[in-house]
Structure 1
Amino acid sequence: MGIGHGARTRRAVLTAALVGATLTASLTAGCARQGPGDDSRAPRRPPAPTHGAPASAARSPLAVKIDNVPAARPQTGVDAADIVYAEQVEGGLSRLMAVYATKLPKSVGPVRSARESDLELLRQFDKPVLAFSGAQHKLLPLIHRAPLRAKSPDDAAYAYYRGSGKAAPHNLYLHPARLLSGAPGKATLTTGFRYGPAPSGGTPETSRTVRYPAARFTFTWSARHGHWLVAMDGKPAVTAGGARLAPATVVVQHVKIRSSGYHDMLGSHTPYTETVGSGKAEVLRGGRSFDATWSRPSATGGTTFKAAKGGRMNFAEGQVWVVFAAASS
């Protein structure tokens, strides 16, 4: 059993490296080399005046695909996101999608590639801006036909740069202010989430772990911080500045995860996370776990959560992490 898990993990890391190398080969080579938080130097190819963030983009949230293999950590800008989605990708590894509406950090990354199921997830927003490093070449036409603003380095080289301290492909970073003229505001988070007092009941909870075949997330309640401290693959998750990642609410959303029509260089099919439908969920807030159900009848609508005893399931004010876990059959 242990030998099989080790083999899967080694194969997963090899898969991530090969896919990442292929995708980043197409990235613009003109990005400056600078630290993840350094805004003092411009890219070698400075943007023309027409490259400024369009005013219409200010009414849309920014979604960024973020690398989450060990070589990509610590990440930059994740703590500023309003919502962080965690999904399973090839080889049983994980990837993050951070959504920004109430504030824009100076830098976000490392930025990585998009997946087919991201398009379904993002339809709940009004023409969101999607920042990603690239995608499988057969998927790119689908991305550009989706109701969003696709902004990879091929579309907006002026918004990206190569950071120091990490090897490619784990060193591509984004300047959000070069894609959006300002934070669009909380009203653009059309996810269906509701915030307010916790319902009655719940079970005291100090720690919850969600496992993928080659990755895991652990959320530990900290009464001192009043938040859930995140650990990834058994190690504390911190920002590039050393601060712990600590959401106020964690949602474990049980969904169907199937194979998509796309695969990586080794022939492994890309998982497709179905976020339209309904199912069970667990909501962690205030040191307690609440059984809940989720429902999203159509791709253009948000996701509603109800407490097990009926009534809406409120989230605590602050950052929300949604971890997609495979529903038991």
Structure 2
Amino acid sequence: MNPLTGLPMSRPDLLRQRPVLVSIDNHPDARPQAGLTAADLVYEVPAEGGITRLLALFVTQRPERVGPVRSSRHYFLDLALEWDAIYVHAGGSPQHYARIVRTGLDDLDGVRADPRGGGRRVFTRDARRKMPHNLYASLPVALTAAEERGWALTAPPRPSPFAFRSAGEEPTGERVDRLVIHWPGWRRGWVRYRWTGAGYLRETAFGPHVAEETGDPLTPANLLIQLVPARTIAGDAEGRLEVELAGEGRLLIASGGRLREGRWQKASPTAPTRWLEADGRPVRLASGPTWVHLVPASARIEASGPPSSQGSGEEPAEGAEGLEGTGGR
């Protein structure tokens, strides 16, 4: 069983592949993105201005095309560190560069030349798309470059951070068919999920969020909304954020059309995140892909029961149940 999806595997040896974490552009002009459906886990993480990045974690699959690859922020490194991942990105904030030299992370940067060589082969520009939303990475090529540099390509398999429901086991929590995250900083920066009976169909203010490979909407089986402390960095001209991913806090768990509360814990930047039910046990999810959303604790989150009749391009209506990031229901 894949410990991150709960799905059966015909080749358990793939679990010994070293994780690769890729920073993927999530600007509207970057969609649809490539590679997300091959990821074992996807994070959505705030950047500045209400835009988010998608950090895709690849363990069992090595797609030929992933991207568009975009820049890093210093708190993204906490996610690469906890997986001991090879980190693929294209540039970064000043805070990223100030920190990464102290971490010892193995990273492939599509913007800054690496004196060790080999990095240029990892990235290509797609002439059909406009810069800066057209830089792509090939993971097989990235791993060849990593091997040339002497980096480890294998790692011991990790225990699953999740528990998975057995066949016929009913999910717990309140019935919720529609969930909206309002990312702070941009009126059109919200993301909406609709429960389909089989997964959570993802929509943005620009319509359904689809996969490049198939044109089908992205539909994770589970959503984890991890509420984290976040603030604007004082004096930063671009409005960049300080986001604290180490610590503990409130967790919203959406699975099987139900929503309930839990807790998250991360003891240090290098420690694994623990996603927990209210009773302290690992979260219990449906088999299938999970998306983890690292949402500022001040963000507004809406949850409602029966599906609304809104069009996918409209701003979510007021009046749905609000879940304040720092308070109760």
- After TM superposition, the score normalised by the length of structure 1 is 0.74
Deviation string, structure 1 residues 280-321 (Cα, Å, up to 9, x no partner): 111111111121111112222212222224533223222211
For 2:163, what is the secondary structure of its paired residue? coil
Q: Which amino acid aligns with 1:175?
A: S
Distance 1:163 1:288 in 2: 40
For 2:78, what is the secondary structure of its paired residue? helix
Q: Which amino acid aligns with 1:245?
A: L
Distance 1:97 1:174 in 2: 14
Q: How does 1:19-34 map to 2 (within 5 A)?
A: none
Report what 1:160 is aligned to: 123
- Answering whether residue 164 of structure 2 is matched by residue 196 of structure 1, we say yes
- Answering whether residue 203 of structure 2 is matched by residue 231 of structure 1, we say yes
Cα deviation, residue 200, structure 1: 5.9
- Answering whether residue 271 of structure 2 is matched by residue 301 of structure 1, we say yes
Aligned mate of 2:176, from 190, 200, 205: 205
Distance of aligned partners of 1:138 and 1:122 in 2 relative to their CA distance in 1, 3 Å threshold: closer
Q: Which amino acid aligns with 2:249?
A: G
Distance 1:185 1:222 in 2: 37
Contact 2:254/2:260 (<8 A) preserved: yes
Report what 1:45 is aligned to: none
Deviation string, structure 1 residues 68-98 (Cα, Å, up to 9, x no partner): 1111111111111111111111112111111
Report what 2:218 is aligned to: 245
- After TM superposition, the score normalised by the length of structure 2 is 0.74
Cα deviation, residue 195, structure 1: 2.7
**Count of paired positions:** 264
Report what 2:294 is aligned to: 324
Cα deviation, residue 189, structure 1: 5.8
When the two chains are superposed, the root-mean-square deviation of aligned CA atoms in Å is: 2.4
Distance 2:286 2:235 in 1: 37
- Matched-pair identity in %: 28
Deviation string, structure 1 residues 26-59 (Cα, Å, up to 9, x no partner): xxxxxxxxxxxxxxxxxxxxxxxxxxxxxxxx74
Q: How does 1:31-110 map to 2 (within 5 A)?
A: 59-110=17-68
Distance 2:235 2:90 in 1: 17
- Answering whether residue 237 of structure 2 is matched by residue 280 of structure 1, we say no
Q: Which runs of 5+ in 1 are unaligned?
A: 1-57
Cα deviation, residue 229, structure 1: 1.2
Distance of aligned partners of 1:141 and 1:326 in 2 relative to their CA distance in 1, 3 Å threshold: closer
Distance 2:89 2:235 in 1: 17
Q: Which has the higher helix share?
A: 1
Deviation string, structure 1 residues 246-272 (Cα, Å, up to 9, x no partner): 111110111101234784xxx133112
Contact 2:17/2:155 (<8 A) preserved: no
Report what 1:254 is aligned to: 227
Distance of aligned partners of 1:289 and 1:157 in 2 relative to their CA distance in 1, 3 Å threshold: same
Distance 2:40 2:87 in 1: 15
Aligned mate of 1:145, from 102, 107, 127: 102
Deviation string, structure 1 residues 111-156 (Cα, Å, up to 9, x no partner): 0000010112222112x11111112356325223323211012231
